[in-house]
Amino acid sequence: MERVVERSNLWSAYERVVRNKGAAGVDDLPVAELKDWLKVHWPSVKQALLEGRYIPRPVRRVDIPKPQGGVRTLGIPTVVDRLIQQALHQVLQPLFEPTFSEGSFGFRPGRNAHQAVRRAHEFIQDGKRWVVDIDLEKFFDRVNHDALLVRVARYVCDERVLKLIRRFLEAGIMSEGLVKPRTEGTPQGGPLSPLLSNILLTDLDRELERRALSFCRYADDCNIYVRSQMAGGRVMEGIRVFLEKTLHLKLNGEKSAVARPWARKFLGYSFTPQRKSRIRIAPASVQRLMQRVREQMRIGRGRSLARTIIDLTPLLRGWINFFKLAQTRSTVEELDKWLRRRLRCLLWRQWKRGTTRFQRLRSLGLNVEAARISAGNGRGAWWHAGSPHLHVALPSAYFARLGLPSLADSLQRLQSLA
């Protein structure tokens, strides 16, 4: 605990919390006011931590929709509790990092989702063309506190730290002004939760290694690669029993499956079925991007096209940066075409009247006859967006001049830099 509250560790934790920003907790103290609060109250908080008396505040419940349906519950700690959790994380991470598996990639320094996807691709290239896709049912909501703390105590002997971690785990969750006590789970939202999940699931990693299985795990998302469907069935049953008896966790029967890798997705990616399999973007990830673009377009109907493109650009750049491992260009080329068609559709709706459309088409270079016929027909906006006359009036270069990034060009550039 002395290392947790040591000045340089606390300062580093403070900088991290401020950099991450984030919402206020149940006490409504914003990150911007944390420094002034600490000047007054930190000595008493530090003393309580050193004496093992510190009691965390309840977390604030926030439900966010999942892409596949349902909601994910986040528990937002107060900014002070986030600071303490971050300070704890910085002391505990170096202690546990050497104990983690080579097959674990999530929430670890120097490791990321791209490395996990590449490792999965290597297993498929090696002939392991069946995947045991494991989905843990409400993992963060059902972590057994005793099972977790037993594993923490293997490397941490300071009772004050162990009690503090338990108090963070058992801190109630506030929703609509009422605090509900918690006896299991470690809600996502605090800096400590990802580390605690890795500590618990390291036992799963070791069991998979003991069975000499090829696997990639990113947090609670675990894929095991085998050579046959029959082997996959045996592995699925064995791991189900291990999870239930040893870690007190349950498989989600609806989302877990033994299947071909190209019929599943892993961290937003999938793979092609050819003998020399390639990495591709999972169709669900493409659909998710398209839905987010549609939402932006609905907002943008009353704004200039340039403003809409400015708002879209961070989304598109972030998306293609994550999916830069994709080895199939056709998907992003089709997305580029679809994006430009959506923007043409937006413009056509904004022009509204036939006379306005005629004038705009003329100003964009269409001859009088073509502009007259195009502006006067009764087709819908989506039809016009895909028609030859709007392709001539609003070519790809028009949107590029306004700053619209090309996903295909961005992918090529990112891969050339890799």
pLDDT tens for each residue of 274-323: 989 999 999 999 999 999 999 888 876 778 999 999 999 999 999 999 99
The pLDDT of residue 300 is 61
Question: In Å, what is the CA distance from 383 to each residue of 233, 341, 344, 349?
Answer: 49, 9, 10, 12
pLDDT, residue 183, reads 64
Residue 116: predicted pLDDT = 97
Q: What is the pLDDT of residue 75?
A: 84
Residue 68: the pLDDT is 64
What's the pLDDT tens digit per position in 357-405?
999 999 999 999 999 999 988 889 999 999 999 999 999 999 999 999 9
Residue showing tokens 């190209």: 262
d(CA 351, CA 373): 16
Question: What pLDDT, on a 0 to 100 scale, did the predictor assign at position 22?
Answer: 87
Band of the pLDDT at 186, cuts 50, 70, 90?
confident
Task: Give CA 355 to chain center in angstroms.
Answer: 46
- The model's pLDDT over 196-207, given as tens digits with 9 standing for 90+, comes to 999 999 999 999
Which whole number is the average pLDDT over 225-234? 97
With a pLDDT cut of 70, the percent of the chain lying above it is: 96
**Cα distance between residue 332 and residue 327, in whole Å:** 10
Average pLDDT over residues 141-159: 91
pLDDT at 253: 87
Mean pLDDT over each residue of the chain, to the nearest integer: 92
Provide the pLDDT for residue 174.
78
Helical (H) or strand (E) element with 270: strand 269-271
Tell me which residue of 225, 231, 410 sits closest to 324, measured CA to CA: 410
Instruction: Return the structure tokens found at 399.
Output: 């949107």
Q: What is the reported pLDDT for 148?
A: 92
3-state SS class at 113: helix
For residues 292-313, one letter each, b for 16 or more C-beta atoms within 10 angstroms of the residue's C-beta and e for the rest, the string is: ebeebbeebeeeebeebbeebe
pLDDT tops 90 at residue 141: no
Percent of the chain predicted with pLDDT > 90: 78
For the chain, give percent helix, strand, coil, nearest 5. 55, 10, 30
Question: What's the pTM?
Answer: 0.90
Compute the average pLDDT of residues 213-225. 95
**pLDDT tens column, 248-285:** 899 988 899 999 999 999 999 999 999 899 999 999 99
Best CA proximity match to 83, nearest among 10, 178, 26: 10
pLDDT beyond 70 at 184? no
Distance separating alpha carbons of residues 79 and 31, to the nearest angstrom: 6
User: Which of 7-11, 47-51, 140-144 is predicted with the least confidence, judged by mean pLDDT?
Assistant: 140-144
pLDDT of residue 140: 77
Non-local CB neighbours of 86 within 8 Å, separated by 6+ positions:
13, 16, 17, 191
